Structures are given as C-alpha cells and as structure tokens.
Amino acid sequence: MVLQKVALTEVRFFSPIGFYEEEQLLGNEFYIDIEVCFSFENPDAEDLKNTVNYEELYQVLVEVMSPKRKLLESAAEDILDLVLKKYNFISHMNVSIRKTNPPFGGDLANSKVSLHYTRD
C-alpha cells in the first residue's frame, strides 16, 4: 500500500489561548504542524477530490485557534475531530501546537502539545 501525506508546517497564529486570564486577554504566539496520511488510490492526480485540500486544513486551524480557551490540549483535540469528520478516509494524523515563550520565566522556551491518530 502507498500512503499519501499532506501537511502544513509552522502555521503561525496569535490566539487568545492560555491558562491564565492575562494570556486570554493579551494572546500568545503559536505554531501548528498538521500531517494527514491516507491510502494513495488516486485515479486522477489532478483532481482535488482525490486528496486532502490543505486550504481546508488551514481553515480548520483558523476556526479552532480563534476563540478563547485555556488549554492547547483542547485545541489539538478539536483540530483532530474536525479534520477526521471532514476526511473520514484518513488513516494517520499528527497535530502539534507549539506555544512560544510560555509564562513560566524560561528564556526562549517553547511548550508543545501533540496528538497522534491511527485508525485501527
């Protein structure tokens, strides 16, 4: 079996996400990586219906990263759920959200949350 991979990397957002109220008011900088894999059974490699449209993946990221929320885990889960609903043929998916300069006093630190999906 041949697997096709479609990915977006280092997609930057400035979003009102954070555990502390100040973070939700001021916002934080985030970078998202999303990678989806599916069986490459493609009768026409020029037909967008035979693949995952990365523009639609981006729109899912915009939808999830726009509202206030406390935890990156909930954002990663929402991304995973929305993409799987839209593309039920995905066999593997990885979503990672990296927060730059989390407010715990570290110099040039990043925090990161990842979810990895594999269809049984």
DSSP 89: T
92 φ/ψ angles, rounded to the nearest 5 degrees: -140, 145
Domains belonging to the chain, first-starting first, are: 3-118 (3.30.1130.10)
For 85, other C-beta atoms within 10 Å of its C-beta total 9
**45 in helix, strand or coil?**
coil
80 φ/ψ angles, rounded to the nearest 5 degrees: -55, -50
Which residues are within 8 A (CB) of 110 and not within 5 positions of it... i.e. 6 or more apart?
A: 98, 99, 100, 101, 102
For 52, other C-beta atoms within 10 Å of its C-beta total 22
Tell me the two tokens of residue 61.
């990221």
Question: The sheet that has 92-100: what strands, in order across it?
Answer: 3-15, 28-39, 92-100, 110-118
Tens of pLDDT, residue by residue, the chain (120 residues): 889 999 999 999 999 999 989 989 999 999 999 999 998 877 776 777 778 999 999 999 999 999 999 999 999 999 999 999 999 999 999 999 999 877 766 666 788 999 999 998
Q: What is the pLDDT of residue 96?
A: 98
DSSP 92: E
Q: Do residues 81 and 64 make contact, with C-beta atoms less than 8 angstroms apart? A: no
Q: What is the pLDDT of residue 117?
A: 97
